[in-house]
Structure 1
């Protein structure tokens, strides 16, 4: 495969993983990818991540390289949209907000694509940052803002987020 084909494949994979699958609004896709409360039982964190990421990857058709699951009620995560606004880590996103408390989170890191997507999982207590937008017309929410992007998770020190800039 030539250089151009590899570049095109990389750009295509990026666009596929950034795209919202058909049938989802931005907030619904956020919920599908990042919110699981209560956490489903699994033998260990690796099995948990392999099971849950199989479900996520089914929608995109590619192995997502990294994903975090927030194990907190959706209503509590939505309330984060009303915390102080901060600059988003990824500059294309606006209107980010940090959680005022640490929650249970499972991080899933891709370790192999062959023969199928395999993940390593790690649980932690962590703060998080979400990007929020007004609900789409198809959403029946009474909240004026909904989380649509998980920008970052970090450890116990909420000020460590500022050190990344």
Structure 2
């Protein structure tokens, strides 16, 4: 009985930490590493639908379904981190840890999923293949808002 109570308390603690965002379940990444994976491509120029289709899959954003929208920043990490040193502004969630800067980006907007014959056959056979996601790319230089945390400050969330 005591063991069951202890396990219940440990489960409750884990769920609380997950809810607070203090434990990172995906890929064992920190929030900074996740930001880099999802939003930074300093060597690419982007701008094409093929770029978005490839990068969204390569960076793991289509494995459980097609992510509706994502932005890739085409600047070196030093430039992105320097945005964290601009004045604080309010984030969409109301926190005051966001910062704005102007950077080169490719916005990838989900348009549709398609199925290849291989995907259909795997689905019929009980396979668990991810969908083939298609994206529309828009390249631009624009204002972005990122949330930063830590000491020193690093980007942890793309706000807009």
TM-score (norm 1): 0.67
Distance 1:50 1:149 in 2: 22
Task: Determine the structure 1 residue equivalent to 2:73.
Answer: 70
CA distance in 2, matches of 1:105, 1:59: 20
1:39 is aligned to 44
1:148 aligns with 2:151: no
- Shift of the 53–59 alpha-carbon distance from structure 1 to 2, 3 Å rule, reads closer
Point out where structure 1 has 5 or more consecutive residues left out of the alignment.
1-18, 135-142, 153-165
**What's the Cα RMSD here?**
2.2
Determine whether 1:114 maps to 2:114. Answer: yes
Q: How many residues align?
A: 122
The equivalences for 1:5-154 within 5 A come to 21-39=26-44, 45-57=48-60, 60-91=63-94, 93-99=95-101, 102-115=102-115, 116-134=132-150, 144-152=152-160
Unaligned runs of at least 5 residues, structure 2:
1-23, 116-131
Shift of 1:112: 0.6
Distance 1:66 1:25, change over 3 A: same
* TM-score (normalised: structure 2): 0.69
Give the C-alpha shift of residue 33 in structure 1: 0.5
Greater CA drift, 60-69 or 76-85? 60-69
CA–CA separation in structure 2 for the residues paired with 1:20 and 1:83: 30
Aligned position for 1:160: none
8 Å Cα contact 1:20-1:29 kept in structure 2: no
Deviation at 1:127, TM superposition (A): 1.4
Q: Which has the higher contact order (CA 8 A, sep 6+)?
A: 2
Structure of larger gyration radius: 2
